[in-house]
Amino acid sequence: EAREEDMKVVVAIHNHVNDTAWEKILEYERVHCDECRNPKLIKFMGKPKELSPKATIRSWFGYARPFDRHDWTVDRCGKTVRYIIDFYNGQPTPEAQMQGAVSMYMDVRPALDSFEAFIDRARMAMNECLPSQPKRR
């Protein structure tokens, strides 16, 4: 049960997680800066009991399931784009673990609702695999 004195910290953590998720979404959206310079978050929905297709497939191979999932919907200047965010428990560093810190990992990506989303994922994967390639901003 949450205590009132803990809420300041809880809100700060929640805001940091949301800011980090938005930054990861903007990494994908920067690819489309020619068509939209100001994407906006329309809505977000928590789906903690619903595994994304990627998380489902990974779980078949023995990988951990995410502890939460969010779907965020973005307005890309008139085009609606859905993103999936899977939240996984991470591995804190030994120093952080000694201090009682927790760690988590967010897998943020466009939902495969369109061929364009598939291309965006492929572009991002190529940028990660080939760091010498300049990222388009």
Encode the chain (137 residues) as per-residue pLDDT tens digits.
767 777 777 788 788 889 999 999 999 999 999 999 999 999 999 998 999 999 999 999 999 999 999 999 999 999 999 999 999 988 877 787 777 777 889 999 999 999 999 999 999 888 777 665 555 55
Q: What is the pTM of this model?
A: 0.83
Coil vs helix vs strand at 55: helix
Radius of gyration, alpha carbons of the chain: 17
